Structure formats: C-alpha cells, structure tokens
Amino acid sequence: QVQLVESGGGLVQPGGSLRLSCAASGSIFSIPAMGWYRQAPGKQRELVATITSDASTNYADSVKGRFTISRESSKNMYLQMNSLQPEDTAAYYCYARVTRRIGGALYDFWGQGTQDTVSS
C-alpha cells in the first residue's frame, strides 16, 4: 500500500503564512505527479496546486503568487502558503499519482487531510 501523511496545518491570522508537508511511503516505484487539493465546508474539493516529477507546476488562479508548491527527494512535497486569507480556510489534502513498478499502472492516493484556519 501507499501512505500519504500531511503535516503543518493550523490556525493563522489573515496575512500570515503556513507551510504544509506531505510524505509518501509504501510500495512506490515512481510518483509522476503530486498535488494539493482543498475542501471548505459545504463546498466541493478543488485543486490548489500540482507538481510533476520534472518539477512542472500548476496553480489555481486563486492562489497564484501566494502559494508555492515544491518537491524534495521525489517522495516529499511542500506547500508554502503566504498572504493567507479567510477564504483559504479549508481542509488541505495531499494527492499522489503513483506507479508501483516499471511500466505499471497509475494509481491515485490521498492523505487524510490537514485543517488550515485563517481567522483573526
């Protein structure tokens, strides 16, 4: 199996910063893509940012210029969130698209989520 463990969420005031981490472990050959999604109460889960194994990134318009996604050692991913606003309040989920062997099928996995609250 594959496990994704997030950390770094919490409570921050508007204008503040948080850094989320996601660590992947388990039966993994490669991780072509990883990303962050978020879900606010009463809303659908939405894309925040993604990053591929060659470091290509993609961001939601709402976070461009404020959030930065990065990867380290292929199995660790981070999301630096600056200039946080109350509308960024949500549960943030780590996502990974994984292969378990050379030429193998792609599988999607999700972390358990970490709550970020932006409030004064």
- Higher local confidence (pLDDT), 102 or 90: 90
Query: What are the structure tokens assigned to 91, written together?
Result: 């549960």
Give me the pLDDT at residue 9, please: 87
Q: What is the pLDDT of residues 34-81, one digit of tens each?
A: 999 999 999 999 999 999 999 999 999 999 999 999 999 889 999 999
Q: pLDDT band for 103, please (50, 70, 90 cuts).
A: confident
Q: pLDDT band for 102, please (50, 70, 90 cuts).
A: confident
| Distance in angstroms (rounded) separating the CA atoms of residues 101 and 43 | 36
Contact 98, 35 (CB under 8 A): no
Q: pLDDT band for 110, please (50, 70, 90 cuts).
A: very high
Contact 69, 51 (CB under 8 A): yes
SS3 category, 59: strand
